[in-house]
Amino acid sequence: MKKYKLLILSILLLITCFLLGWYGDRLASTALIIHAPLILLILLGCFVALLVACIVAIIRHRAYINFFSIGVLCLLVILILKFPFRDTKVKYELDHYEADRLKIVDLIKDGQLTPDPLGNVDLPWGLRRVSASGQALVLQNDERGQVVAFWIFRGMLSGSMLLVYSSGGEELIRASQEGPFITRIEQARDTWYYVETD
């Protein structure tokens, strides 16, 4: 088992970094964002220590199994630099959570979920996972149509990204906008739109 120690540690670091990238937007919406620089520094330190240990093991002990460890660490670097975490996660969740999000839209339309004066709706416990902040944002809910937004990334002061349900298309989203300036709208499918704000 000792022979595979560096390989196991490299794989664990890869999994940890992947999970951090996958859930990064959700973690950024919590108080953990304060600790992000420390967490990243610790992960960088682990990466450097593992890389050095693998190189030393190859040179000193001719432990060629550690070439696999170096391969895993190289994969980690490629993953961090090239993998589109946010886009992949959003596309996955668009399919995976669509039924739950439509259920929330119907509950808002029927008045079973009511927004506060700012338009925020605290989602029920079993449905909180469909929005990074556990809230939906109701931009419009009247006879003209519905615009309900689910947070993908909720910036502190600006720079948010939302997945928006709009019964009236892009025009209704722009007409119902109050607050942050929309920088980009992209249709995801029928009534769903990605919206980025400044």
Query: Has residue 81 got a pLDDT over 90?
Result: yes
Which segments within 47-123 are labelled E, that is strand?
120-122
Q: How much is the pLDDT for 65?
A: 81
Mean of the per-residue pLDDT values of the chain: 87
Tokens of 106: 């119907």
The residue with greater pLDDT, 2 or 113, is 113
Residues 6+ positions from 97 with CB-CB distance below 8 Å: 129, 130
The confidence score (pLDDT) of residue 26 equals: 73
pLDDT for the residue 31? 60
Residue 16: alpha-carbon gap to chain centroid: 15
pLDDT band at 7 (very low <50, low <70, confident <90, very high): very high
How many angstroms separate the CA atoms of 133 and 152, rounded?
8
Are 146 and 105 in contact, with CB atoms under 8 Å apart?
yes
Q: Give the whole-number percent of the chain exceeding pLDDT 90.
A: 43
Q: Where are the alpha helices (DSSP H) in the chain?
A: 5-22, 24-28, 36-61, 66-82, 85-96, 98-109, 169-175
How confident is residue 170, by pLDDT bands cut at 50, 70 and 90?
confident
Return the higher-pLDDT residue of 9 and 180.
9
Q: What is the model's pLDDT at position 174?
A: 84
pTM of the model: 0.78
**Which of helix, strand or coil describes residue 144?**
coil
Residues of the chain with pLDDT > 70: what percent? 92
User: Cβ contacts of residue 111 below 8 Å, gap of 6+?
Assistant: none
Q: Read off the pLDDT of each residue in 169-191 and give the average, rounded to a whole number.
A: 81
Listed by start position, the domains of the chain span 2-83, 91-197
Q: Is 30 exposed, middle or buried (0-12, 13-18, 19+ CB in 10 A)?
A: exposed
| pLDDT of the residue at 133 | 83
Give the Cα-Cα-Cα angle 169, 131, 152 (nearest 5 degrees).
Answer: 70
Q: What is the pLDDT of residues 126-157, one digit of tens each?
A: 899 999 888 999 998 888 889 999 988 876 55
